[in-house]
Amino acid sequence: MAKPSQSDVKPSFARLWRQVSFIPMLHSRWLTAAVKAKLSAKITEAERGHRGEVFLIIENQLPIPDAYQLTCRERAIDLFSDYRVWDTEENTGVLVYVNICEQSLDIIADRGISEHVSPTIWRAMCDKAVAGMSNQKYDASLCELIDEIGQLLRQYYYLEHDPAGNELSDSVIFLK
């Protein structure tokens, strides 16, 4: 997905203030070691039977120096590149980015899977997961989203005998 042009990005003092005043310990208590393990196992399970890769990054807040200019979507695109989610053999990497402070979730899909799945479907999946998370069902919502992504990848990149050629780590990345 293309990065918004600089003219599309709206600086936001409100976003900057939210990031500066955010207290991680109050908002990310749900992300325990057990929940991280559960989400990592769910990614492994969702990657069976297809050639796609699912990568999950959960971040407390945007980097403060960038928060005035940087949206969560732009941050997700940057992380998609930084973690080389685009660097899969068939361009089937899918990044799920959660920003706890902004209560935001974005999906960045590589060009291979984007040819098959419209942005409207990705957005609907994000909206459904955010709705669940707003009801304090963080891990359940993320697990359901990861399952849905796995089903989409299976639909377009099915493998009868998956050689378990994992190109990206299944471990949840937590950026404090």
Per-residue pLDDT of 155-168, as tens digits, reads: 999 887 666 568 89
Q: Is residue 2 part of a domain?
A: no
Q: Is residue 4 part of a domain?
A: no
Q: Is residue 42 part of a domain?
A: yes
Residue 19 has a pLDDT of 74
Domains in the chain, number? 1
57 neighbors 96 (Cβ within 8 angstroms) = yes
Q: In which band, very low, low, confident or very high, does the pLDDT at 147 lie, cut at 50, 70 and 90?
A: very high
Q: Is residue 98 part of a domain?
A: yes
Q: In which band, very low, low, confident or very high, does the pLDDT at 1 lie, cut at 50, 70 and 90?
A: very low
Q: Is residue 52 part of a domain?
A: yes
| CATH assignment at residue 28 | 3.10.310.50
Compute the average pLDDT of residues 141-152. Answer: 97
Give the DSSP letter of residue 50: B
Task: Name residue 43's amino acid.
Answer: I
79, pLDDT greater than 60: yes
Region class of 91: left (phi > 0), else alpha (psi between -120 and 50), else beta: left
* Least confident range of 13-27, 81-95, 147-161: 13-27
pLDDT, tens digit, for every residue of 97-138?
Answer: 999 988 899 999 999 999 999 999 999 999 999 999 999 999
pTM greater than 0.75 (yes/no)? yes
Q: Is residue 3 part of a domain?
A: no
Q: In which band, very low, low, confident or very high, does the pLDDT at 142 lie, cut at 50, 70 and 90?
A: very high
Q: Is residue 113 part of a domain?
A: yes
Q: What residues contact 112, with CB distance under 8 A and at least 6 apart? A: 88, 90, 91, 92, 157
Structural domain including 98 reads 11-175
Q: Is residue 17 part of a domain?
A: yes
Compute the average pLDDT of residues 33-62. Answer: 94
